[in-house]
C-alpha cells in the first residue's frame, strides 16, 4: 500500500471513529459489539448507501407503520437491533435520539454490528446464506423463505454435487458462496461449497435498479442459468429451458422453418407461470400468501389465459409430445452400431434430449418442441 493510500485509510478510520464517538454509539475497544446506523456507514460507503435508500429495505419501518396492522412482533424485522440488549445500542437504545436512527432494514441488519469494523477497519463479511433473509421473509404473510426451502434452487448444490459429471465450473449456476467468493483456490472441488441458489444470487439487497431488487431483468436473470450454453449435437444437453422458451438451441434441419408459440412473447416469461403469487387471505378464508418461490408452475397461472384449463395437459398437448418422445426413443433404441455413427442419429438424439431435458413436455414452446421431434422422426430411421 502506498503512503498516500495508507494516509487516506487512516484519515477515513479516524473520521469514522470520531463520528461514532460523537454520537455515543460506540467506542473503539468496547467489550460489546454495537450498532452504529446506516448514517455512519454512509460516511465511507456513500454509493451503496445512496442505492439502498431507494429500496423497500430502507422504507421498511414507515411502510410497516402506514400499513395500519403492525404489532410489536413485526418491528423486529423492520428495524435494526431490536433484540432486548440495550448495551449494543440499536432501535431499543434507551436514548430515543439514538434509537430513532435505526429504523428500516439497514446495513447492520445483514452485516452485523459495525462498531468493530469502524474501530479496526476489519472488513465485514457478506453473508450469502439463506437463513439470513429467511429470518424475516417467512410466515403466513410473506412465506418466501418457507417456499424457497422446498424449491430446486435450495437444492441446487446438494442434489448434484456428488454426480459424476458435476464439476467446479457448474458452480457458477449452483452455488451462492462460489458465485460471491473473492477468489477460489485452483484445487477447489464442488464439495468445498455450502450454499445452493440463495436469495442474494437473484436479489440485490442494496439496489432497486430492477423490479423486485433483482440483479438483472427477470427474463435475462432466469436465462443466465437455464440455458444449454450453446450445446450442439454430440454433446450433453442440460437445462435448456430458456432456449426452448425462446425457440433456439435445438438442432434445426436445413430447409425447415421453425416457429414459436404465443408463450414466447409473454412479457415476464418464466415468472408468469413459475412465480404465480397470491396475497394473504386472498379469499377471506385465512389462507397463507403465496410468494411464488417454490418456482413450480400452478394451474391458476394457466387459467389467466386459459380459463377452462384443469391440468397442464391442455388440449392433450403434453400427451401428444410424450407420444412423439416415445416414438423417437423407440427409433433410437433400434439403431445399430453403424447407425449410431451417423450424423442423423446424433441430430435426432440431440433433439430428443433437448425436449426431454426441458421438462415441460412442450408447454414452454409447443410449436418448437413438436417441430424438433417431428423433424428428427422424418430424418432418422434405424437400418434394422
Judgement on whether residues 92 and 150 belong to the same structural domain of the protein:
no
Cell numbers given for 92:
431499543
Judgement on whether residues 208 and 112 belong to the same structural domain of the protein:
no
Report yes or no on 326 lying in a domain. Answer: yes
Tell me the CA distances in angstroms from 100 to 32, 70, 83, 278, 349, one per residue in order. 20, 18, 15, 34, 64
Q: CA-based Rg of the chain, rounded to a whole angstrom?
A: 27
How high is the pLDDT of residue 123? 86
Report yes or no on 311 lying in a domain. Answer: yes
How high is the pLDDT of residue 268? 86
Judgement on whether residues 286 and 358 belong to the same structural domain of the protein:
yes
**DSSP at 252:** P
Which residues are 214's β-sheet partners? 203
Report yes or no on 46 lying in a domain. Answer: yes
Judgement on whether residues 371 and 248 belong to the same structural domain of the protein:
yes
Sequence-ordered alpha helix ranges (H) in 170-240 = 176-179, 199-202, 218-223
Decide if pLDDT at 71 tops 50: yes
Decide if pLDDT at 53 tops 90: yes
Name the residue among 356, 347, 354 with its Cα closest to residue 378. Answer: 347
Report yes or no on 226 lying in a domain. Answer: no
Total tally of structural domains belonging to the chain? 3
- Region 247-261: mean pLDDT is 97
Collapsing DSSP states into helix, strand and coil, what is residue 354?
helix
Cα(154)–Cα(160) distance, integer angstroms: 12
Inter-residue contact 151 to 171 (CB < 8 Å): no
pLDDT tens, residue by residue, 175-219? 999 999 989 999 999 999 999 999 999 999 999 999 999 999 999
Cα(1)–Cα(293) distance, integer angstroms: 45
Inter-residue contact 20 to 93 (CB < 8 Å): no
Cα(325)–Cα(331) distance, integer angstroms: 10
How many CB atoms neighbour CB 310 within 10 A? 10
Decide if pLDDT at 224 tops 70: yes
Judgement on whether residues 99 and 141 belong to the same structural domain of the protein:
no
How high is the pLDDT of residue 14? 35
Domain that holds residue 297: 244-379
How high is the pLDDT of residue 68? 87
How high is the pLDDT of residue 31? 62
Judgement on whether residues 329 and 349 belong to the same structural domain of the protein:
yes
Decide if pLDDT at 70 tops 90: no
- Region 15-31: mean pLDDT is 42
Judgement on whether residues 277 and 152 belong to the same structural domain of the protein:
no
Judgement on whether residues 316 and 340 belong to the same structural domain of the protein:
yes
Report yes or no on 109 lying in a domain. Answer: yes
Judgement on whether residues 283 and 344 belong to the same structural domain of the protein:
yes
Decide if pLDDT at 12 tops 70: no
Domain boundary among 110, 125, 140: 125
Judgement on whether residues 112 and 178 belong to the same structural domain of the protein:
no
Cβ-Cβ contacts under 8 Å for 236 (sequence gap 6 or more): 165, 353
Judgement on whether residues 164 and 115 belong to the same structural domain of the protein:
no
pLDDT tens, residue by residue, 279-330? 999 889 999 999 999 999 999 999 999 999 999 999 999 999 999 999 999 9
Domain boundary among 97, 125, 153: 125
Which residues are 79's β-sheet partners? 103
Cβ-Cβ contacts under 8 Å for 274 (sequence gap 6 or more): 292, 295, 296, 297, 301
pLDDT level of residue 3 (50, 70, 90 thresholds): very low
Tell me the CA distances in angstroms from 232 to 64, 78, 116, 236, 331, one per residue in order. 52, 50, 53, 8, 21
Average pLDDT over the chain, rounded to an integer: 90
Report yes or no on 120 lying in a domain. Answer: yes
- Determine if residue 34 is left, alpha or beta; phi over 0 gives left, psi from -120 to 50 gives alpha, anything else beta: beta
Domain boundary among 177, 199, 215: 215
Q: For 1-5, 28-32, 318-322, which range has the lowest pLDDT when averaged over its residues?
A: 1-5
Judgement on whether residues 133 and 120 belong to the same structural domain of the protein:
no
Decide if pLDDT at 374 tops 70: yes
Amino acid at each position: 500500500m502506498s503512503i498516500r493510500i495508507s494516509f487516506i485509510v487512516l484519515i477515513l478510520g479516524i473520521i469514522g471513529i470520531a463520528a461514532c464517538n460523537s454520537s455515543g454509539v460506540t467506542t473503539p475497544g468496547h467489550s460489546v459489539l454495537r450498532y452504529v446506523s446506516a448514517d455512519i456507514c454512509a460516511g465511507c460507503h456513500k454509493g451503496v448507501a445512496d442505492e439502498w435508500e431507494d429500496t423497500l429495505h430502507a422504507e421498511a419501518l414507515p411502510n410497516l407503520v402506514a400499513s395500519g396492522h403492525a404489532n410489536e412482533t413485526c418491528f423486529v424485522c423492520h428495524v435494526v437491533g431490536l433484540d432486548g440488549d440495550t448495551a449494543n445500542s440499536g432501535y431499543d437504545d434507551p436514548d430515543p435520539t439514538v434509537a430513532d436512527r435505526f429504523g428500516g432494514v439497514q446495513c447492520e441488519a445483514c452485516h452485523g454490528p459495525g462498531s468493530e469494523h469502524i474501530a479496526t477497519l476489519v472488513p465485514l463479511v457478506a453473508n450469502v446464506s439463506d437463513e439470513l433473509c429467511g429470518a424475516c421473509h417467512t410466515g403466513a404473510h410473506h412465506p418466501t423463505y418457507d417456499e424457497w426451502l422446498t424449491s430446486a434452487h435450495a437444492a441446487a448444490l446438494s442434489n448434484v454435487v456428488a454426480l459424476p459429471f458435476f464439476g467446479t465450473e457448474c458452480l457458477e449456476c449452483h452455488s451462492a458462496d462460489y458465485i460471491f467468493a473473492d477468489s477460489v483456490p485452483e484445487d477447489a472441488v464442488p464439495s468445498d461449497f455450502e450454499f445452493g441458489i440463495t436469495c442474494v444470487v437473484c436479489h440485490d439487497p442494496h439496489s432497486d435498479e430492477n423490479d423486485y431488487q433483482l440483479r438483472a431483468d427477470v427474463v435475462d436473470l432466469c436465462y443466465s442459468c437455464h440455458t444449454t450454453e450453446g450445446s450442439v449435437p454430440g454433446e450433453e444437453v442440460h437445462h435448456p429451458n430458456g432456449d426452448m422458451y425462446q425457440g433456439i438451441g435445438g438442432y434445426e434441419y436445413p430447409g425447415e422453418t421453425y416457429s414459436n408459440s404465443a408463450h414466447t412473447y409473454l412479457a415476464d416469461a418464466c415468472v408468469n407461470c413459475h412465480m404465480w403469487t397470491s396475497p394473504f387471505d386472498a379469499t377471506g378464508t385465512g389462507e397463507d400468501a403465496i410468494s411464488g418461490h417454490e418456482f413450480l408452475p400452478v394451474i391458476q397461472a394457466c387459467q389467466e389465459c386459459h380459463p377452462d384449463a384443469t391440468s397442464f395437459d391442455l388440449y392433450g398437448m403434453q400427451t401428444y409430445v410424450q407420444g412423439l418422445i416415445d416414438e423417437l426413443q423407440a427409433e433410437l433404441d433400434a439403431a445399430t452400431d453403424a447407425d449410431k455413427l451417423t450424423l442423423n442419429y446424433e441430430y435426432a438424439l440431440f433433439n430428443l434430449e433437448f425436449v426431454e431435458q426441458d421438462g415441460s413436455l412442450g408447454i414452454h414452446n409447443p410449436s418448437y418442441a413438436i417441430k424438433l421431434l417431428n423433424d428428427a422422426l422424418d430424418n432418422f430411421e434405424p437400418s434394422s
